[in-house]
Amino acid sequence: MSTEPLMLSVSGLRGIAGTSLTSEVACRYAASFGIWLKGIHQSDAPIHIVVGRDSRPSGQELELAVVAGLTDSGCRITRLGIATTPGVAIMTMHLHATGGMVITASHNPAPWNGIKLLRSDGAAPTANQAEQIIAQYHQTVPNIRINKFGSVPVDPNTVEIHVKKILGIVDTTLIQKQRFKVVLDSLHGSGGPSTSLLLEQLGVDLVHRHAEPTGQFPHPPEPTAENLVEFCHAVRQANCDIGFAQDPDADRLAVVDETGRYIGEEYTLALCAMHLTSRQQARTPKVLVTNLSTSRMIDDIAASFNATVKRTAVGEANVADALRDQGGLLGGEGNGGVILPAISYVRDSLVGITLILQMLAERGQRLSQIIDSLQQYTIVKDRFEITGTIIERLEPTMRSHFSDHEIDARDGVRVDWPDRWVHVRASNTEPIIRVIAEATDPSTSRALVQEVGMLLTAQ
């Protein structure tokens, strides 16, 4: 048995390709999803599953395993080939399928791969549904030859359908008139073809870096400041209006302004929220949904435009579920993920790109000017390996140490003050503890992270 991590959570399945995430594991997980769908639908109609994958080389073998597992559980399959996560969600709805599966490890390093699950409405299963699927996985032991199933044809229409849907929500003529110059880093992930077509339709002068979906990531795939130093330099050197950086399955987006300054993932949701809420009638109630680890910028924006912020546990499925329940205008997370219900209930970097370009076109301002007009916060993020009793000690230790402060324990522990906050939780996608702190000055944020780090690592 592999000692490498295999993560099963509300975010799906992730592991190290070829060790903890083998073809057998993928086949079993796919079969479990098919069995679960048949159980909840209780219909004689065939279960129809849409399957796509990001560009990681390990995805080809895992796709064969997924198709085998689904076929063995009685499902009909439509393959999309290499496709973005939002593209798979949109095609799941477009084809009126019962569900979708995306073979991707999203932002995780290159050795990883994984599987995300989607329901018929294009949204990820809720936390409760994810638990049911995991329970089914532990009960399911398929006994099949993975290579025994014939080839399933690929539907070639994902890119065009995805782009057409997004173009329907913006003023394309207005954006086209601006002739924006944009640098885009698609990381050799799955987002290159669809994002290139989108920006072409928007009349953008595009400098496209790492466009082909080869899966050979030129730098660590998470779109963080330390991974995008060279990209920021390229934006500045090309004299562009803006730079956009995607992750491998194109559900996350980081932004760089025209000076080459890394604006980052936290600002992606904030900018989109500012754009949409400012365009609504002043007295119209508006709900924005995000998680406990996202910047207070969204609260500031909500206060300016008669909006309410609802916060959830971390995880796209939790945000999407609350967004639907609340009839929200926009949702997302501070990792660069934007969810626009008019398009789908998954994070979509193409939505973020389009809304930000429309905002720049309408306001006639440089991105740096808009960013500088916002209340400035500093978020500091750190991670700690899960060792010993760190999980068991997390909540009681935090509650004891911060007993005089406001505490939210819905997902790990978040502690709030009037001018700062810190959130500590176990990751859904990696075997680590995440610590995130935000304040109006860098030293306070760093001090909070260091304080919590010392608590977690103390024996």
> Is 1 a member of any domain?
no
pLDDT in tens, 388-433: 888 888 999 999 999 989 899 999 999 999 999 999 999 988 889 9
Residues of the chain with pLDDT under 70: 1-3, 144-145, 147-151, 281-283, 459
Q: What is the largest CA-CA distance in the chain?
A: 63
Block residue for tokens 């390996």: 385
Q: What is the pLDDT of residue 428?
A: 85
3-state SS assignment for residue 421: strand
3-state SS assignment for residue 144: coil
Q: Are residues 254 and 177 in the same domain?
A: yes
> Is 161 a member of any domain?
no
Q: How many helices (H) and strands (E) does the chain have?
A: 15, 20
Q: Are residues 448 and 419 in the same domain?
A: yes
Query: Which residue, 230, 213, 85, 170, is CA-closest to 353?
Result: 170
Half-sphere exposure (CA, 13 Å, Cβ side) for 102? 31
Q: What is the pLDDT of residue 145?
A: 67
Q: Are residues 97 and 11 in the same domain?
A: yes
CB 195 within 8 A of CB 250: yes
Half-sphere exposure (CA, 13 Å, Cβ side) for 14? 20
Both tokens of residue 54? 């990001």
Q: What is the pLDDT of residue 386?
A: 86
Q: What is the pLDDT of residue 283?
A: 63
Q: Are residues 112 and 208 in the same domain?
A: no
Burial track 362-386 (b if 16+ CB lie within 10 A, e otherwise): eeeeebeebbeeeeebbbbbbeeeb
Q: Are residues 45 and 145 in the same domain?
A: yes
Query: Which residue, 371, 368, 379, is CA-closest to 449?
Result: 379
The 8-class DSSP code of residue 444 comes to: H
User: Any catalytic annotation for residue 106?
Assistant: yes
CATH number of the domain enclosing 367? 3.40.120.10
Burial class of residue 100 (count of CB atoms within 10 Å of its CB; 0-12, 13-18, 19+): buried
CB 33 within 8 A of CB 133: yes
pLDDT in tens, 16-58: 999 999 999 999 999 999 999 999 887 777 899 999 999 999 9
Cβ neighbors of 151 (< 8 A, separation 6 or more) are none
> Is 445 a member of any domain?
yes
> Is 201 a member of any domain?
yes
Rounded to whole angstroms, the Cα distance separating 4 from 457 reads 22
Q: Are residues 119 and 176 in the same domain?
A: no
Rounded to whole angstroms, the Cα distance separating 210 from 189 reads 8
Which residues are 433's β-sheet partners?
A: 384, 426
CATH number of the domain enclosing 405? 3.30.310.50
Question: Among 217, 237, 262, where does a domain finish?
Answer: 262
Q: Are residues 366 and 439 in the same domain?
A: no
The pTM assigned to this predicted structure is 0.93
3-state SS assignment for residue 149: coil
Q: Determine the angle formed by the axes of helices 390-401 and 442-457, rounding to 10 degrees.
A: 130
CB 352 within 8 A of CB 336: yes
Question: Among 205, 238, 262, where does a domain finish?
Answer: 262
Block residue for tokens 């789908």: 344
Q: Are residues 382 and 361 in the same domain?
A: no
3-state SS assignment for residue 442: helix
Q: Are residues 348 and 444 in the same domain?
A: no
CB 425 within 8 A of CB 293: yes
Q: Are residues 343 and 448 in the same domain?
A: no
Q: Are residues 106 and 205 in the same domain?
A: no
Q: What is the pLDDT of residue 1?
A: 47
CB 334 within 8 A of CB 293: yes
In order of 48, 170, 411, the CA distances from 323 in angstroms are 26, 21, 18
Cβ neighbors of 163 (< 8 A, separation 6 or more) are 194, 197, 198, 201, 350
Question: Among 239, 262, 285, where does a domain finish?
Answer: 262
Q: Are residues 108 and 243 in the same domain?
A: no
Which residues are 208's β-sheet partners?
A: 184
Total domain count for the chain? 4
The dihedrals phi and psi of 80, each to the nearest 5 degrees, come to -110, -10
In order of 173, 176, 230, 259, 261, the CA distances from 180 in angstroms are 12, 8, 21, 15, 17
Catalytic residue among 32, 58, 73, 106: 106
- Please report which helix (H) or strand (E) contains residue 328, including its range: none
Q: What is the pLDDT of residue 54?
A: 98
Rounded to whole angstroms, the Cα distance separating 368 from 242 reads 9
Print the domain residue range for 416: 378-457
Q: How many other C-beta atoms lie within 10 A of the C-beta of residue 416?
A: 16
Q: What is the pLDDT of residue 348?
A: 98
